Amino acid sequence: MRGRRIGAAAMAAFSVLGAAGCGIAGADEVSLADKDRLVIGVNKDQPGVGLRTAGGGYEGFDVDVAREVARRLGVRAADVTFKEVTSATRQRMIRGGDVDLVVASYSITPDRKRQVAFAGPYYIAHQDILVRGDSPIKNVRDLRGRNLCMVQGSVSYERVTKEKGVAARLVPATGYADCFGKLTAGQVDAVSTDDLILAGLAAQTAESGGDAADRPRIVNAPISDEGYGIGLRLGDADGCVAVNKAITGMYQDGTAQRLLAKWFSPVGLKFTTTVPQFEGCD
Amino acid sequence: MTAVHQPPSAPPPAGPIAGGPPATRPPSAEPALPGRPAARSEPRTGAARLVPRTVAGRVRVLTALIVVALAALLAVTWSAVADARDGVRVIGHDAGPQVVATGDLYFQLIEMDAQLADALLVGRTQNLGVKREQALESYDRSRRAAGAALLQAARLADDPTEERTARELLDAVARYERLAAQALLLDEQTPHDAGPPPERVLETYRQATDLMKLDLLPKAYNLTLDNGTLVRHTYEDKRDAVTAGRLWVLGTGLVVLALLGGLQLFLFRRFRRLLNPALAIATLGTLVFVGVGFTMLGGQADHLKKAKEDGFDSILALSRARAIGNSANADQTKYLLDPARADTYEQVFLSKSQTILYVKADSLAQYSGAVQQTGKENDYLGFLGSEFDRNRLPSQSQALNAVFTDYRAYQRDDRSLRDLVAGGQRQQAISTRLASPDSSFGEYDRSLGGLIKIHSTAFNDAIKKGDDGTAGWNLVIPVAGIVLVALVLAGVRPRLSEYR
């Protein structure tokens, strides 16, 4: 009798131990791979990449990529919510759990990888140069002595003047949309930043028509690799693997190529149609 | 048997007064005596009904419970040992080494492209450190090794997406080979001295190297990443299973010990025996079994952790660093080979260098300057930066310091090469590069190989300990079971025979 009581006590103690053992795995937050609803952070001010529309929705390459990834994670379109992020807020929003994913021309860097995890990159953008249709500029060296648009806070112009040591004349602007206006107005000779952003800007005029000779074009002389990653919570390795699988699938069945063509073909950007080298999730 | 042996004077009677009507007896008047049904003042309800009325019955039930609990203990031990063995097998002998082998795919592909670039760059010049024939022989060697690694990686692919990646890789290798053959043929048709080959050769080579950079290498890398995930999952699953199994062993062990103690106590109270030696030995044996099993499983979880974190993870990360370093070194050649794309190749060289060892820098010149400063290793990121943070093995820090020193020398040499080109002495730079091919890069690569070796040794040690740790348990468990059951039966048999 006593033996049985002791046995029962041991069993009880033991099931507590067992529960504690399971608790180690259960302490982690839910991986986004297992979520039924997703909140995805996107840009609101990059035409062709991530742009808030007049109707209150979002459109652009990043937004389409976000939708595709969510679909491939098994989340219905109705269960995807988009939230605006900026360069200043995206890291904090991932860490705070305000967004599950960020797809917002978010370049993967070793510094950033200490704060958030990155799936992808889903595309490797390159810093390139946008010029007027009749411009003789062929590569970054040709910018010597030319008027180059300078956006305060962006590192793109420094890559030309400092990294490449090309003595361009810098013309300040408030943003890349402003740069684009100055380019078409002839106040600057070139705008240099990520090719997808340039292509998105240029696509706006390509759609509105106009003389082909005046239409801005991309030089196609890349001077950097910017791996656009999908940001997610640090430590969610399974979520990261699942997103990578979704990206691989997008390239394998032609979805990625179709989306790139949809947003960037009109301006003659030579985009890469093969899956990028991933950063890895472990 | 024992000093206090006081057998009952007669075979146990069925009731207090032989032949007397039990119903007339006041239920709780007599003290319980051996062999008597347990006297109860209240009607037996619930679980109590399951407790037999006779002492012999109770001894039998307790014994049966002990045997069942023992069986459970052996079963959970068996399953935990199986999990531990499985984990060691997958990480140490199966997927682990295979993943490391597929990492070779990336390395060999880069080597192919680098050798092709060398062969085209050197042209018909014979008096340099690199000769066309040698470069082509190396190319073939790498091609064969890449084929073997690709086959391995394809075998490890365990879902449709990965299988498709493997198929696409196979296809892309064939396309690369065709372009490489065309470039070499064109190059032979237009003989030239060391230096950039004619434009139409370059054009074909650009197609080949673009295919390599944009298609082959990313897919090869991603496939290795997928394979690595497989190992991570196995590791996490098995390690959790072993840790949980260890708690189950402890839990069921405690149950067996409690039951044995209970039986011992019961026999003591009913038969006035201080100690039943067979049961005492069984108790001690169980204690030892549980203790050894618990410790062994803890050790196995530890070996798995060491094999994974000190061995596998570092080996994989450093092999990637090595492959990417090789590819950066090839970009250095291409920077000389293809002046029109020199800016791009220089930028790619910087970004690959930063993948290996990251310090913040706006330009390659700034980067090579920044890595020369010693004492800032703490701030390093990238593959070598994480390796610095992971410093756990003896002699690892010494080996890592050698890697840093050689990496600095390599970056210094790269700087002087680029300074020559910037000063308009491209031809001089090409001669320097080809005269002593890869001297400082070779040094760095060898140091890195040495560091990888330290982790391989740690990996092999942990796996060996893991193999040894569970060795013999296939025998220990059944033997322990037989011996313990025999002891328990031997302990209760004389008592039960007293009732016959």
* CA neighbor of A133 nearest in space, from A23, A224, A267: A267
Note whether B343 contacts A141, CB cutoff 8 Å. Answer: yes
> What are the domain boundaries of chain A?
8-124+227-267, 126-224
CA distance B64 to B488: 10
As a whole-number percent, the residues of chain B with pLDDT over 70 amount to 88
Of A3, A25, A155, the CB nearest to B261: A3
User: Is a pLDDT exceeding 50 seen at residue B195?
Assistant: yes
What is the Cα–Cα distance from A192 to A223, expressed in whole angstroms? 10
Domain that holds residue B304: 55-491
Looking at beta carbons, which residues of chain B come within 8 Å of A249?
161
Residue B15 belongs to a domain = no
- Please indicate, yes or no, if residue B297 is contained in any of the structural domains: yes
Residue A95 is predicted with a pLDDT of 93
Nearest residue on chain A to B210, judged by CA atoms?
Answer: A272
Tell me if domain A8-124+227-267 and domain A126-224 are identical in fold: yes
Q: Do B165 and A13 touch (CB under 8 A)?
A: no
Least CA distance to B243: which residue of chain A? A21
User: Comparing A281 with B73, which gets the higher pLDDT?
Assistant: B73
A57–chain B nearest CA distance, Å: 32
Give dist(CA B121, CA B132) in Å, integer: 9
Please indicate, yes or no, if residue B6 is contained in any of the structural domains: no
What number of other Cβ atoms are within 10 A of residue B395's Cβ?
Answer: 11
Is residue B21 situated within a structural domain? no
Which stretches of A87-232 are DSSP H helices?
90-95, 156-158, 176-184, 195-208
CB-defined contacts A:B, below 8 A = 141
Rounded CA separation A176/A202 (Å): 11
Position B247 confidence tier, pLDDT thresholds 50, 70, 90: very high
Residue B103, domain member (yes or no): yes
pLDDT per residue rounded down to tens, chain A (282 residues) = 444 444 444 444 444 444 444 333 333 578 888 889 999 999 988 888 998 988 889 999 999 999 999 999 999 999 999 999 988 889 999 999 999 999 998 989 888 888 999 998 999 999 999 998 888 998 888 999 999 999 876 778 888 888 778 899 999 988 888 898 899 899 999 999 999 989 888 887 666 555 555 678 888 888 888 899 999 999 899 999 999 999 999 999 999 999 999 988 877 788 889 999 998 887
> What local confidence, expressed as pLDDT, does residue A41 receive?
95
Contact B258 A9 (CB under 8 A): yes
The torsion defined by the Cα of B213, B219, B221 and B226, in degrees rounded to 10, comes to 170
Taking the whole predicted model, whether its pTM rises above 0.80 is answered as: no
List the single range of A255-269, B112-126, B473-487 with lowest mean pLDDT: B112-126
B44 assigned to some structural domain:
no
- Position B4 in a domain: no
Write down the CATH number for the domain with range A8-124+227-267: 3.40.190.10
C-alpha–C-alpha distance, residues B292 and A39, integer Å: 50
- The tens digit of pLDDT for each residue in B304-341 reads 999 999 999 899 889 889 988 988 988 888 888 778 77
Structure tokens at B209: 């190297």
Q: What is the mean pLDDT of residues B85-92?
A: 90
ipTM over 0.90: no
Among A165-169, A231-235, B125-129, B425-429, name the one with the lowest average pLDDT. Answer: B125-129
User: Given this structure, which CATH class describes domain A126-224?
Assistant: alpha beta
Taking CA atoms, B90 is separated from A83, B241, B454, in Å, by 43, 14, 21
- CA A125 to the chain's CA centroid: 9
Question: Number of structural domains, chain B?
Answer: 1
How far from chain centre, in Å, is Cα B123?
A: 46
Whole-number pLDDT of residue B298: 94
Structural tokens at position B473: 């348990």
Number of H helices, E strands in chain B: 15, 0
Chain A residue numbers touching B259 (CB-CB < 8 A): 3, 6-7
Q: Which residue of A has its CA nearest to B106?
A: A277
pLDDT of A211: 57
Average pLDDT over residues B214-230: 87
Does B43 reside within a domain? no
